[in-house]
Structure 1
Amino acid sequence: MTPEQSTGYDVDYELTRFFRRVRDQAMSRLHEIHEDLDYNTFLLFIGIADAQGGVRASDLAEGMRVHKSTVSRGVSTLERLGLIERVQHPSDGRAQLLSVPPSARSQLEAFRKRNYAWFGELLSDWTETDVQTFARQLARLNAAAEQTPRS
């Protein structure tokens, strides 16, 4: 293995380990939002909640790099659970936007606050400089990943 492969392997391995723990943490608490919410639908829910002013289902699919049918099934589930609603697009009367009603948004915000506390516990023995540096490096990694086309 070359040094470049070793570095890539180490980063991939550690990120995968961490993502599994974050996913496990979230899955153990999804019932706080709704007892029938699964993790993949939760990810769509977050995508909709984070879209300022709502989002078209097709734009959500493109942004999350998933098939439109996946979004369609997830949206149906989220609507059935009362976690999202469809609203008319303000400038295109034919289009609909997905948005999160206030009650569901408050559930998500409470969930996120508990998540922030969990991260705070994980980072409790880090210095403020370490945390800020780590956050900047993650932002840099995300920006690079967003600029890289799928292979």
Structure 2
Amino acid sequence: MLEKLERELMLLSRHQVLARRERDAERLERSAYLLLSRIDTQGPMSIGQLAEAFGLDTSTVNRQTAALLRCGLAERVADPDGGMARKLRITAEGGRRLEGDREVNRSCLARVVADWSPEEVRELEDVLVRLNRSAEALEGRHWPRTEEGDGGASCRLPAPQDQLPPAP
């Protein structure tokens, strides 16, 4: 019964990977896109928080975030809540690149569903939200969704006057 579902999800994942390969060098790597998306949704996060959020080893997340730091897509800041661990925050360049990728993704999706009715698009969105929430519940790791007021940070970068000074 689940054979067709498994195959279609595999194919869906394949289409996304192929779309990334044919893009220009400005496109973010998959891990960078996912990490930046989570930080963008939730606000500054420590490496430990990111590792927990993705169910990954901290050494893996440390390597991935080191790449973000080297590329100027994220920066280390003092914990805005006063905690001891330093956190990662998206830089203006990271926000620009993330938004650019999101625009390309939306444009590609618009072409894919161009002949769908708005109701069909909403139905697919609803089913995917349900599928993702079910998977998150099984894993015990929920992705904050700002559009539903789940307590995540705004998806916009803070204005320069609202930004924290760099941590020492």
TM-score per shorter chain, which class?
Answer: 0.7 to 0.9
Q: Does 1:114 align with 2:108?
A: no
Measured in 1, the distance between the counterparts of 2:20 and 2:136 equals 24
Q: Which amino acid aligns with 1:112?
A: R
Higher helix share goes to which structure? Answer: 1
Question: Given residue 86 of structure 1, which amino acid in structure 2 is its aligned partner?
Answer: R
Identity rate, percent: 29
Tell me the distance in 1 between the aligned counterparts of 2:68 and 2:125.
31
Q: CA deviation at 1:74?
A: 0.6
Report what 2:71 is aligned to. Answer: 81
- Matching residue of 1:50: 41
Root-mean-square deviation (CA), in Å?
A: 1.8
The two structures have a TM-score, normalised by structure 2, of: 0.76
Question: How far apart are the structure 2 equivalents of 1:75 and 1:137?
Answer: 32
Taking the aligned partners of 1:118 and 1:108, their CA distance within structure 2 comes to: 15
Distance 1:145 1:30, change over 3 A: farther
TM value normalised by structure 1: 0.83
Higher relative contact order (CA 8 A, sep 6+): 2
Q: Which moved more, 1:54-63 or 1:86-95?
A: 86-95
3-state DSSP class of the match of 2:25?
Answer: helix
Within 5 Å, give how 1:2-151 maps onto structure 2. 6=1, 8-29=2-23, 31-33=25-27, 38-51=29-42, 53-149=43-139
- List runs of 5+ in structure 1 lacking aligned partners: 1-5
Letter in 1 for 2:15: R
Tell me the matched-pair count. Answer: 140
3-state SS, counterpart of residue 31 of structure 1? coil
CA-to-partner distance for each residue in 1:110-132, whole Å, 9 max, x for gaps?
Answer: 22112101000000011111000
Q: Shift of the alpha carbon at 1:49? A: 2.9
**Cα 1:76–1:30 shift into 2, 3 Å:** farther
> Residue 94 of structure 1: SS of its match in structure 2?
coil
Aligned-partner SS, 1:32: coil
